[in-house]
Chain A
Amino acid sequence: MTATTETPSALGRPIKRKEDARLLHGQTNWTDNIQLPGTVHMAILRSPYAHAKITKLDVSPAKNHANVVNAFGAAELGDLNGSIPCVWPVTDDIVMPAFPALAPDTVRQVGDCVAVVLATNPQSAVDALEDIVVQYEPLPVVIDMEKAIAPGATPVHADAGTNVCYVYNLGGGYEEVKAKADVVVKRRFINQRLIPAFMEPRSVVAAPMGMSDEITVWSATQIPHVLRVLLALVTGIPENNLRVVAPDVGGGFGGKLQCYREEVLVVNLARKLGRPVKWTETRSEDMLATHHGRDQIQDIEIAATKDGKLLGLNVELIANMGAYLQIITPGIPLLGMFMYPAIYKMEAYNFKCTGVFTNTTPTDAYRGAGRPEATYAIERIIDELAAELGMDPLALREKNWIKHEEFPYTTVSGLTYDTGNYEAATAKALDLFGYDELRAEQKRRRDSNEPVQLGIGISTFTEMCGLAPSRTLGALKYVAGGWEHCTIRVLPTGKVELITGTSPHGQGHETAWSQIASSILGVPVEDIEVVHSDTGRAPYGMDTYGSRSLAVGGRAIKLAAERLIEKARVIAAHQLECSPADLEFVNGVFQVKGDASKQQPLGAVAFEAFTAHNLPDGVEPTLQGEATVDPDDFSYPHGTHLAAIEVDTETGKVRVRTYVAVDDVGIQVNPMIVEGQVHGGLAQGIAQALYEGAFYDEDGQPLNATLSTYLIPAAPDLPSFITGQTVTPSTTHPLGTKGVGEAGTIASTPAIINGVVDALRHLGVTEVAMPATPMTVWKTIQAAKGGK
């Protein structure tokens, strides 16, 4: 075989996943599977009150319980009760309250940590919690965000004296354009609180390692690298003594993008006790203590001319922080801030966000993190504006979106979209959907007043991936950067190690990153081992969230591979006694241009680099390439989603009859994985529209914080999806890729609710609250009828 035989590149092929064999045989390494000798198990006493003074706490009776090693409240922990970090102080005058792991004197949410018991088995630790003596004096509770910031409200943090965490403003000029508008539509949308509910509950093990000072931490986390830095800062353990490993991690969706109280406690207690400490949450703990997502009140106003030209947008948010600020709690609404104008051209945009403390579980990133909220608001109000103008909602969108020939385009919020083709994606979606036929059926059902009405929901969305250019993050007062790292080594035997700073938890990086490297190095996918999620083996990285892994990490893989080839080229030229410029590199083999008989495979170069017997002068032994890359810009996937929604007007039941998702994520590394990401994203977005919502009563008691009462859709609750794609390569990404992890979630929530409202608009319905349960929809229909 000669080197010039073309084999198909691994890039762009639906290669089956490397990860699956172990996952399908139960040969996995979840954190909770780790059972080290001498482990003590931690159980946590949590507050049953949303706001109360701790008037008495005595943990000593728990110490008498069989198998209990020790028990601690905040007082007993002293300096080891670290303060949980927030790394995104969005304004200079933001209120950043203290956030100790164990509450020292006041609890501020149901589920707040009060005390811990450590025992030689998990059952004894839980049993002994009952022996702790604790008394509370309830304090006034604030749950409703508007009441929380009204005069006279009890502050969640007394020393702050206010429940306003921050006020953030962007843009301007809306009032001027509003003055010349023919039509102004104003709405209030409630983007309800959601619970991430990844399937693998959180778990953390920390173990002092023998005679060294090293402490190894295994955690079900999305962010082993970031967590290592934060744990070092919070605990005072030298960073170089901390090794953080995220073993197999069972989903995250932003919920494992955190430095949690329990992680700090486990690490500090392992250090104090000098033995391994382990904690695994129950699901019911998870739903109280894992951060929540969304929870915004959105007042949005749009101004347009009578023929449907958009003039401006005014957005005023009240965003629930919960009781404390977690890692990037204040910044979540700001990740959506730039996206409200979405794909539309307009003259002015005003944005204001007020962050508010309440006696609830802290909020933070959940799949999409700010962009689903923004997309929901803009896509919903475009439909409302279309109704006001008497225009087809798709025609109104088309009239105002950025045309494909207008890219790159700088939006009114200041982002520059590199590429996009909304016309093509929409045309493809319409083709798959049968828009005109469904409109005809809708009219038929309306005319004959059928009990089951049909609605068409549209979402022409875009989003921003690839958090982020570090300078941009700095300008937004985010404490860290947004770069990513990759090292690729060709080992002496020709096998390849690809060391990435991304940290997959279901996304299939082991497969997809192998495909990228294979396509550049010409090494078979199965000969590439992707090393990740262990600061001991993959020391540099910024981890996985915000659809950044390919958008940023992919850049580092490409550059590292190219650098490796350039080093190999010099060695190969020396071996073949020619100039490096005379070599071409095809399918993993260097060969002299025009002389196919003179070849040197990459593996042979690697062996030469290993023996170092005959390297050119000045060339160092070993064959590796590494790159740490800061992205030039975000990337902007987009798409058109169309939903045919049936609403039974007699029962309020909503059925998603057809769902078409056409996504443009640029060049696809593995279309099978891309499609899977879209499916899962759709499910979570549809779930917000129809099923999920975490609610509290006035006393701050969670009303549905178990899997029995919080409705995660099961298989019968969702349809099969029709997916399509257009490919408009990103011009700011060297692979032409964009990002796909969150697109489905961002797009689908407004598509569903637009469909529900469209089905009922002729009955006078203009808004349906989420989740659009049968009860909510039925009541909405009744109210509209009564109002007529």
Chain B
Amino acid sequence: MHHIPITVTVDGMTYEREVEPRALLVHFLRNDLGRVGTVIGCDTSNCGACTVLLNGRSVKSCSVLAVQADGTSITTIQGLSDGNEWHPVQTAFKECHGLQCGYCTPGMVMSAVDLLSENPNPSEAEIREGLEGNLCRCTGYHNIVRSVEMAAELMGGAK
């Protein structure tokens, strides 16, 4: 099958690869680059487990072709913390027990990061609406909402 060259920066490292035109960004991350922190939960773009930041905005990486990511910068859950310094959203999810099995967590955290960058002080309703594209089967969302509220506080303090 015909392959297309792309150049993508993922979590600060630049990769040059050739990909099938049909390859999805999430498959590129997982299978070509071995960045398996980003996971696949469905095949209908409903679950949001594969959410990453593309040029700083959240996308479901199952809904982006790898070729569309050519020339972009991707941040995944594996590149979110700054060395040993956890991102406030990661800290808040641990403090508030915002995860159980942890499978939705990579996507949920990346969506929360995007939500807070757009709306640094969201209400509960805004948090729930903002995370509508991410399904969690374990937590009932209660502690995820608390986590995002706490992250907003932590990040507000840094401003």
A positions within 8 Å CB-CB of B: 16-17, 19-21, 23-28, 30, 32-33, 35, 123, 197-201, 248-251, 253, 282-284, 505-508, 672-673, 675-676, 679-684, 706-708, 712, 714-716, 718, 720-721, 744
Q: What are 5 A-B pairs with beta-carbon distances under 8 A?
A: A23-B102, A506-B100, A506-B102, A712-B137, A714-B134
Q: Is the CB of A24 within 8 A of B144?
A: no
Q: Which residue of A lies closest to B127 (CB)?
A: A715
Q: Which of B93, B97, B124, B125 contacts A673 (CB 8 A)?
A: B97
Q: Is the CB of A199 within 8 A of B101?
A: yes
Asked if B61 is at the interface of the complex by the 8 Å CB criterion, the answer is no
Q: Which residue of B lies closest to A716 (CB)?
A: B128
Q: Is the CB of B43 within 8 A of A679?
A: no
Q: With the chains together, A672 CA to B131 CA distance in Å?
A: 23
**Further contacts, 13 of them, CB under 8 A, given A16-B95, A680-B138, A683-B139:** A17-B94, A26-B38, A198-B103, A199-B47, A199-B49, A200-B41, A200-B103, A283-B42, A283-B44, A505-B101, A706-B43, A707-B46, A712-B135
Q: With the chains together, A672 CA to B20 CA distance in Å?
A: 46
Q: Which residue of B lies closest to A252 (CB)?
A: B101
Q: Which residue of A lies closest to B129 (CB)?
A: A716
Asked if B116 is at the interface of the complex by the 8 Å CB criterion, the answer is no
A451 to chain B minimum Cβ distance, whole angstroms, is 22
Q: With the chains together, A687 CA to B47 CA distance in Å?
A: 16
Q: Which of A20, A26, A707, A708 contacts B99 (CB 8 A)?
A: A20
Asked if B8 is at the interface of the complex by the 8 Å CB criterion, the answer is no
Q: Is the CB of B139 within 8 A of A283?
A: no
Q: With the chains together, A250 CA to B138 CA distance in Å?
A: 9
Q: Is the CB of A20 within 8 A of B93?
A: yes
Q: Chain A residues near B43 (CB, 8 Å)? A: 282-284, 706
Given A199-B47, A199-B49, A720-B145, decide whether A676 and B90 contact each other with a Cβ distance below 8 A.
no
Q: Is the CB of A24 within 8 A of B145?
A: no
Asked if B14 is at the interface of the complex by the 8 Å CB criterion, the answer is no
Q: Could you give, for residues 117-132 of chain B, a 1 whenever the CB lies within 8 Å of some chain A CB and a 0 otherwise? A: 0000000110111011
Q: With the chains together, A78 CA to B38 CA distance in Å?
A: 39
B22 to chain A minimum Cβ distance, whole angstroms, is 8
Q: Is the CB of A32 within 8 A of B134?
A: no
Report how many A-B pairs have Cβ atoms within 8 Å.
167
Q: With the chains together, A250 CA to B125 CA distance in Å?
A: 27
* Interface residues of chain A: helix, strand, loop or mixed (majority): loop
Asked if B17 is at the interface of the complex by the 8 Å CB criterion, the answer is no
Q: Is the CB of A249 within 8 A of B101?
A: yes
Q: With the chains together, A16 CA to B98 CA distance in Å?
A: 11
Q: Chain B residues near A19 (CB, 8 Å)? A: 102
Given A33-B36, A251-B101, decide whether A506 and B134 contact each other with a Cβ distance below 8 A.
no
Q: Chain A residues near B30 (CB, 8 Å)? A: 33
Q: With the chains together, A716 CA to B122 CA distance in Å?
A: 14
* Interface residues of chain B: helix, strand, loop or mixed (majority): loop
Given A283-B47, A284-B44, A679-B140, decide whether A198 and B101 contact each other with a Cβ distance below 8 A.
yes
B44 to chain A minimum Cβ distance, whole angstroms, is 4
Given A30-B103, A707-B47, decide whether A715 and B141 contact each other with a Cβ distance below 8 A.
yes
Q: Chain B residues near A679 (CB, 8 Å)? A: 139-143
Q: With the chains together, A318 CA to B133 CA distance in Å?
A: 37
B53 to chain A minimum Cβ distance, whole angstroms, is 13
Q: Chain A residues near B132 (CB, 8 Å)? A: 714-716
Q: Which residue of A lies closest to B39 (CB)?
A: A30
Q: Is the CB of B76 within 8 A of A26?
A: yes
Q: Chain A residues near B46 (CB, 8 Å)? A: 706-708
B87 to chain A minimum Cβ distance, whole angstroms, is 9
Q: Is the CB of B139 within 8 A of A680?
A: yes
Q: Which residue of A lies closest to B38 (CB)?
A: A26
Q: With the chains together, A269 CA to B140 CA distance in Å?
A: 39
- Residue among B101, B104, B132 with the highest chain A CB neighbour number at 10 A: B101
Q: Is the CB of B137 within 8 A of A251?
A: yes
A677 to chain B minimum Cβ distance, whole angstroms, is 8
Q: Could you give, for residues 47-90 of chain B, a 1 whenever the CB lies within 8 Å of some chain A CB and a 0 otherwise? A: 10100000000000000000000000000111011000010001
Q: With the chains together, A720 CA to B134 CA distance in Å?
A: 17
Q: Is the CB of A683 within 8 A of B140?
A: yes
A639 to chain B minimum Cβ distance, whole angstroms, is 16
Q: Chain A residues near B135 (CB, 8 Å)? A: 199, 707, 712, 714
Q: Chain A residues near B86 (CB, 8 Å)? A: 24
Q: Chain B residues near A200 (CB, 8 Å)? A: 39, 41, 101, 103
Q: Chain B residues near A672 (CB, 8 Å)? A: 97
Q: With the chains together, A198 CA to B100 CA distance in Å?
A: 12
Q: Chain A residues near B42 (CB, 8 Å)? A: 201, 283, 707
Q: Chain B residues near A21 (CB, 8 Å)? A: 94
Q: Which of B20, B94, B125 contacts A20 (CB 8 A)?
A: B94
Q: With the chains together, A682 CA to B142 CA distance in Å?
A: 10
Q: With the chains together, A23 CA to B142 CA distance in Å?
A: 19
Q: Is the CB of A201 within 8 A of B140?
A: no
Q: Is the CB of A25 within 8 A of B40?
A: no
Q: Which residue of A lies closest to B44 (CB)?
A: A708
B29 to chain A minimum Cβ distance, whole angstroms, is 10
Pick the 9 closest A-B CB pairs, nearest first: A26-B37, A250-B103, A506-B101, A23-B102, A683-B140, A283-B42, A679-B140, A26-B77, A506-B100
Q: With the chains together, A681 CA to B138 CA distance in Å?
A: 8
